[in-house]
């Protein structure tokens, strides 16, 4: 993630410790993928208690952009910042492959660089990527256009093919596929760039002459 932000997108990015208690001064927070606390109990279930999560909640409550990728998405759902939960894949196996997605909603600060209903290729790499929410939550997600990305072939059993959702306010996004692993041709796809470009464009400081 840091490589994608710094070397490809030419943004300033700091790695922030889980013990950090303030995020003052940052324009955006990204919770990257990984295996926080070894995925014990359930992915993200322990990380949600990390001190930094209090600061992430305050950051999100202030309307600033927060994006969780893969384990980051799992942490955001466990922390209650996004609806639903990530369960073990339907196959019970870890899946590592390229997945095809549909940009379901391009009217968001995370997806405006894509055409409506665009098909994009992003890698997935997870054991617990099976998005679950109850029917009532799904209806709410649909009514408020909160489903941002959908799988074409639903590799993990996710409810309604959901690959990425945002909160109702539109400033918190979680997604299981990895855009940061699709930012240069040598990685096999540059389709992930649009997510970062959307976020950067939406949050650019406007300088007045
Ligand atoms: N790539 C990742 O972030 C791994 C996600 C998570 N720990 C899982 O296996 O479900």
Q: What is the CATH number of the domain that holds 165?
A: 3.40.50.880
Q: Is residue 195 part of a domain?
A: yes
User: 68 CB under 6 A from ligand 1?
Assistant: no
Q: Is residue 197 part of a domain?
A: yes
Structural domain of residue 137, as residue ranges?
A: 2-203
Q: Is residue 152 part of a domain?
A: yes
Q: Is residue 28 part of a domain?
A: yes
The tens place of each residue's pLDDT in the chain, 209 residues long, gives: 999 999 999 999 999 999 999 999 999 999 999 999 999 999 999 999 999 999 999 999 999 999 999 999 999 999 999 999 999 999 999 999 999 999 999 999 999 999 999 999 999 999 999 999 999 999 999 999 999 999 999 999 999 999 999 999 999 999 999 999 999 999 999 999 999 999 999 998 765 65
For residue 79, which of 111, 63, 55 has the smallest C-alpha distance?
Answer: 55
* pTM for the full predicted model: 0.96
Active site residues: 70, 178, 180
Q: Is residue 209 part of a domain?
A: no
User: 156 CB under 6 A from ligand 1?
Assistant: no
Q: Is residue 11 part of a domain?
A: yes
Rounded Cα distance between 115 and 166, Å, is 18
Q: Is residue 208 part of a domain?
A: no
ipTM: 0.93
User: 83 CB under 6 A from ligand 1?
Assistant: no
* pLDDT score, position 189: 95
* pLDDT score, position 206: 62
Q: Is residue 142 part of a domain?
A: yes
Domain count, the chain: 1
């Amino acid at each position: 993630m840091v490589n994608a932000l710094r070397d490809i997108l030419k943004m300033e990015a700091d790695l922030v410790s889980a013990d950090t208690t303030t995020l003052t001064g940052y324009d955006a927070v990204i919770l990257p993928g990984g295996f926080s606390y070894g995925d014990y109990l359930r992915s993200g279930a322990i990380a949600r208690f990390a001190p930094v999560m209090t600061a992430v909640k305050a950051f999100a409550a202030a309307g600033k952009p927060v994006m969780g990728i893969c384990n980051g998405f799992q942490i955001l759902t466990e922390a209650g910042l996004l609806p639903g939960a990530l369960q073990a894949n339907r196959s019970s196996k870890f899946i590592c492959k390229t997945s095809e997605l549909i940009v379901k909603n391009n009217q968001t600060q995370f997806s405006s660089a894509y055409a409506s209903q665009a098909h994009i290729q992003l890698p997935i790499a997870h054991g617990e990527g099976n998005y679950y929410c109850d029917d009532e939550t799904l209806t709410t997600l649909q009514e408020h256009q909160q489903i941002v990305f959908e799988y074409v072939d639903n590799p993990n059993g996710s409810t309604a093919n959901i690959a990425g959702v945002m909160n109702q306010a539109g400033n918190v996004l979680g997604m299981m596929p990895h855009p940061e692993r699709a930012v240069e041709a040598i990685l096999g796809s540059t389709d992930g760039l649009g997510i970062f470009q959307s976020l950067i464009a939406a949050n650019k400081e406007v300088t007045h002459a």
